[in-house]
Amino acid sequence: MVQQVIDPPIPTRTVADLWERLGGVPLERILLRPAPGTATEADLLARMDADDRSLCELVDGVLVEKPMGIYESVVAIWIVRLMTPYFNQHDPGILSGADGPFRLAKGVVRLPDVCFVSWSKIPDRRNWIKAISDLSPDLAIEVLSPGNTRKEMERKLREYFAAGTKLVWHIDPRKRSAIAYSSAAQFTMHGADEPLDASVVLPGFTLSLKELFERAGAPPEE
């Protein structure tokens, strides 16, 4: 079980302290039930099974709604579809979507929009599925939404790499661009005509941003 602590605790005496700790996310994404600081993984799973099936992440005992509309979902699905031929040919591991929770640290459960985990991390292919996975993603892909904040995404980066992730992609479909991170501090920026190279975890695979954005279509007018 993952037990590492990603960041040193930030004193949380006020709502402003809590908001800062969560990365300055829009206030409507911070749930008050259960009370902030008391939420558990069981609360997270119950929320995912509720009638509205809203996606939440668990951050230091707080349920934080994941901002993802239909357009972000379409982009994520097209990422998976463009990766599928490679996976059919090579079978390198598993792909999961935005409703697949990963425990990155004690008290931190994230839901990457697309996630790859190598079979090398799964000794028993018949008995590895859990409600919340404690496998560390090899590749985590986040499709950015207007509701994401820079501080929030920076915190997620630190969490992913501390958990053992080797590559993180931030894909911004509205700006038609992406950033590929090999660590929380090392990255390369990509325009729409530049493919994303996943060779460090998926030898020989590149994702065409041009095709992705063409397939997903134009972003909605805000």
Do 88 and 177 reside in the same domain of the chain? yes
The residue ranges of the chain whose pLDDT is under 50 are: 1-6, 8-10
pLDDT at 49: 83
What is the reported pTM? 0.92
Could you tell me the residue range of the domain that residue 45 belongs to? 15-65
Do 122 and 206 reside in the same domain of the chain? yes
Do 108 and 199 reside in the same domain of the chain? yes
pLDDT at 7: 52
Do 117 and 210 reside in the same domain of the chain? yes
Do 56 and 85 reside in the same domain of the chain? no
pLDDT at 1: 32
User: What CATH number has the domain bearing residue 74?
Assistant: 3.90.1570.10
Quick check: helix, strand or coil at residue 118?
A: strand
DSSP single-letter state for residue 37 = T
Q: How many domains does the chain have?
A: 2
Quick check: helix, strand or coil at residue 101?
A: coil
What is the chain's percent helix, strand, coil content, to nearest 5? 30, 25, 50
Structure tokens at 115: 């996630």
In a domain, 26, yes or no: yes
Contacts of 130 by beta carbon, 8 Å cutoff, 6+ apart: none
pLDDT at 35: 94
Do 42 and 82 reside in the same domain of the chain? no
In a domain, 164, yes or no: yes
Do 99 and 164 reside in the same domain of the chain? yes
pLDDT at 48: 84
pLDDT at 194: 96
DSSP single-letter state for residue 202 = S
Measured over the CA atoms of residue 169, residue 171, residue 176 and residue 177, the dihedral's sign is negative
pLDDT at 5: 39
pLDDT at 51: 64
Structure tokens at 191: 């325009």
Do 53 and 85 reside in the same domain of the chain? no
